[in-house]
């Protein structure tokens, strides 16, 4: 649709709201902005010229948010997405939910109809703030050019404080175009608000854990970044208490946690460290232990209240704190007091998490011309082991679960507790922006890659190499498996796809592509894709098997209750 062209630009007359916006982002240390152009935000593009800020411009607004999300999770910086008003904003909103559930600090900046046209049927006028609010920590519209920089600082601060998450700021065009006279906020205005753990609470919680036979610490998605996982491991080493992070909609049954669910069921004391008591913990029902002492540290009073509702008298100690600061405090205190949980229990938990069925070693497809998921995935580990900054992206239905089960890497980004598929290509691209060196391997389903396949174009344009590996079973297998299980083989409907040549689609965008139908070719093709240095699509014809369910025969010493 042709855009109306009207601008009240005061570019010639000095600093605009748009210039203040760019200056504020620079002052927060932002170097990358993920964006898609549109009338409302063209003053911001103009202001970005010569600012030192790089605009990665994409093919769909949801992709901009997915990129900002992965960039934030990998770089530890706030991720910035910039989109146009109305439909551009609406496109971006769905991706905010994934960032919210992954607890990623993202700021969505959306253009917006000008103040003086509101209510008069302005071009792309929409109640943007109300639309974004349910999936954001905060959402508001900027009032004036003079308010822009302070609003940016506030948005970044909120996104990073407490439980990290997305924040939305709508930017009416008059605000961007008009002259701005205010100085930038002080650097401290952009920083996280401190939310430390009370020392007495830390001591009391550690004491309760040390007194237990089978203590566990469960951490939430915000702690699943690379430094977060290192901090969890440091707490486990200092305390001797197993510390397990959770980031999947499959909860403790997530394939990357092996047979951990069987250990959780046996715990007699559990500390929830920024971990919500929600569907991922079966709302406190089995396998969450029925008679364990539970303690909780959370940045949000509402989450503590929710846990109280679910757990009742089991929830015995609570404290308000940022998960990261609590982690640091508990580690320091453990190093000083050495609470030491039982070594045998810790070893049992670790071997349950690492457990994978021996039968997987010999997994083969029954169909010629197709690979078993394990045959597709195992050769990828060599790529991930080849560099200290390697990144694994997992997205998709059943194939995403197989990838979580079979592969490990220094950096991992997956579609998270939201369980929303389609973000994988955007994540891979943003991973490459954040980390220019190591291999980025993104495993996706054939259904999943279709959501944002045009991001191959973005990757080619921006020279961002990664290896996308598509497990192509020509169906939405996760849903197909539900139909098979719940309704029977005669009631399959609407889950079939074509065995599309996604590799050829990628090649048409200017990327590298190859088709794999023989397990013997998997390793060499993956290596060639990586060696190309280009955005690459390895399209692998696979057998559509159900997601892995991992259970371990119990050790004699500790039966499951
Ligand atoms: C945005 C979104 N739409 C739909 C779904 C429902 N869904 C979950 S997994 C899945 C199938 C994914 O298919 P594919 O990527 O090919 O992976 P497969 O399960 O076949 O291995 C669907 C449709 C979802 N989780 N998120
Ligand atoms: Mg599929």
CA–centroid distance, residue 66 to ligand 1 (Å): 17
479 lines ligand 1 (CB under 6 A): yes
Which ranges in 338-419 belong to alpha helices (H)? Answer: 343-354, 373-377, 381-384, 398-406
Q: Which atom of ligand 1 is nearest to the CA of 402?
A: 21
Residue 341's pLDDT is 66
110 lines ligand 1 (CB under 6 A): no
Substitution candidate for ligand 1 out of 396, 449, 548 with most atoms within 8 A of CB = 396
Give 153's contacts (C-beta < 8 A, 6+ positions apart). 24, 28, 185, 189, 190
Question: What's the token pair of residue 346?
Answer: 């810790």
Nearest CA to ligand 1 atom 26: 420
CA–centroid distance, residue 474 to ligand 2 (Å): 5
* Ligand nearest, relative to CA of residue 422: 1
Strand partners, 541: 472
Distance, in Å, from the CA atom of 149 to the CA atom of 461, rounded to the nearest integer, reads 31
Work out the average pLDDT over 20-26.
Answer: 98
Q: Which atom of ligand 1 is nearest to the CA of 478?
A: 19
Question: What's the token pair of residue 532?
Answer: 């190309």
Read off φ and ψ for residue 302, nearest 5 degrees.
-65, -35
Distance, in Å, from the CA atom of 469 to the CA atom of 536, rounded to the nearest integer, reads 8
Write out pLDDT tens, residues 82-126: 999 999 999 999 999 999 999 999 999 999 999 999 999 999 999
> Lowest mean pLDDT: which of 39-48, 76-85, 507-516, 552-561?
552-561
Work out the average pLDDT over 272-280.
Answer: 98
Assess whether pLDDT exceeds 80 at residue 283: yes
Write out pLDDT tens, residues 117-150: 999 999 999 999 999 999 999 999 999 999 999 9
Residue 561's pLDDT is 28
Q: Which atom of ligand 1 is nearest to the CA of 451?
A: 1
Q: Which atom of ligand 1 is nearest to the CA of 448?
A: 15
* Ligand nearest, relative to CA of residue 249: 1
CA–centroid distance, residue 477 to ligand 2 (Å): 5
Q: Token match 């009742």: residue? A: 312
CA–centroid distance, residue 447 to ligand 1 (Å): 6
Q: How confident is the model at residue 481 (pLDDT cuts 50, 70, 90)?
A: very high
Work out the average pLDDT over 158-166.
Answer: 98
Assess whether pLDDT exceeds 70 at residue 9: no
Assess whether pLDDT exceeds 60 at residue 7: no
Distance, in Å, from the CA atom of 315 to the CA atom of 100, rounded to the nearest integer, reads 25
Q: What is the mean pLDDT of the chain?
A: 95
Strand partners, 268: none
Residue 453's pLDDT is 98
**Cis peptide leading into residue 551 (ω within 30°):** no
């Amino acid at each position: 649709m042709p855009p109306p062209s009207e601008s009240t630009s005061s570019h010639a007359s000095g600093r605009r709201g748009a210039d203040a916006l760019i200056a504020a982002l620079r002052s927060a240390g932002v170097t990358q902005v993920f964006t898609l152009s549109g009338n409302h935000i063209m003053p911001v593009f103009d202001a970005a010229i010569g600012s030192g800020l790089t605009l990665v411009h994409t093919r769909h607004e949801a992709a901009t948010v997915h990129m900002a999300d992965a960039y934030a999770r990998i770089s530890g910086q706030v991720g910035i997405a910039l989109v146009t008003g109305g439909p551009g904003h609406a496109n971006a909103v769905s991706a905010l939910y994934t960032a919210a559930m992954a607890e990623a600090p993202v700021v969505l900046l959306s253009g917006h109809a000008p103040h003086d046209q509101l209510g008069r049927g302005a071009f792309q006028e929409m109640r943007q703030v109300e639309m974004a609010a349910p999936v954001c920590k905060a959402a508001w519209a900027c009032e004036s050019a003079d308010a822009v920089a302070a609003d940016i600082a506030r948005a970044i601060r909120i996104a990073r404080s407490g439980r990290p998450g997305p924040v939305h700021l709508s930017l009416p065009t008059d605000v961007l175009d008009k002259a701005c006279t205010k100085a930038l906020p002080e650097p401290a205005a952009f920083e996280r608000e401190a939310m430390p753990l009370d020392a007495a609470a830390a001591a009391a919680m550690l004491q309760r854990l040390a007194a237990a036979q089978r203590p566990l610490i469960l951490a939430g998605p915000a702690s699943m970044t690379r430094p977060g996982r290192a901090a969890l491991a440091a707490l486990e080493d200092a305390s001797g208490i197993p510390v397990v992070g959770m980031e999947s909609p499959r909860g403790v049954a997530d394939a990357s946690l092996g047979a951990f669910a069987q250990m959780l069921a046996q715990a007699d004391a559990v500390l929830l460290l920024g971990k919500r008591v929600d569907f991922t913990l079966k709302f406190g029902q089995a396998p969450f232990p029925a008679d364990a002492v539970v303690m909780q540290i959370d940045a949000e009073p509402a989450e503590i209240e929710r846990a109280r509702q679910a757990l009742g008298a089991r929830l015995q100690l609570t404290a308000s704190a940022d998960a990261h600061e609590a982690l640091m405090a508990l580690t320091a205190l453990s190093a000083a007091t050495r609470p030491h949980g039982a070594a045998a229990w810790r070893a049992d938990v670790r071997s349950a998490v690492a457990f994978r069925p021996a039968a997987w070693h010999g997994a083969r497809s029954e169909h010629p011309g197709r690979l078993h998921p394990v045959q597709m995935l195992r050769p990828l580990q060599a790529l991930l082991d080849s560099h200290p900054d390697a990144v694994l992206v997992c997205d998709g239905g059943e194939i995403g679960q197989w990838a979580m089960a079979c592969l490990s890497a220094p950096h991992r980004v997956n579609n998270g507790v939201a369980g929303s598929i389609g973000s994988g290509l955007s994540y891979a691209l943003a991973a490459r922006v954040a980390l220019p060196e190591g291999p980025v391997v993104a495993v996706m389903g054939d259904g999943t890659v279709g959501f944002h396949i045009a991001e191959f174009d973005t990757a080619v344009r921006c020279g961002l190499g990664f290896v996308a590996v598509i497990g192509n079973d020509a169906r939405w297998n996760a849903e197909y498996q539900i139909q098979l299980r719940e309704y029977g083989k005669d009631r399959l409907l609407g889950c079939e796809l074509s065995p599309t040549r996604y590799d050829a689609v990628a090649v048409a965008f200017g990327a590298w592509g190859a088709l794999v139908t023989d397990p013997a070719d998997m390793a060499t093709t993956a290596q060639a894709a990586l060696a190309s240095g280009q955005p690459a699509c390895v399209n692998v014809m696979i057998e559509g098997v159900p997601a892995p369910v991992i259970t371990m025969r119990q050790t004699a010493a500790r039966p499951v209750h």
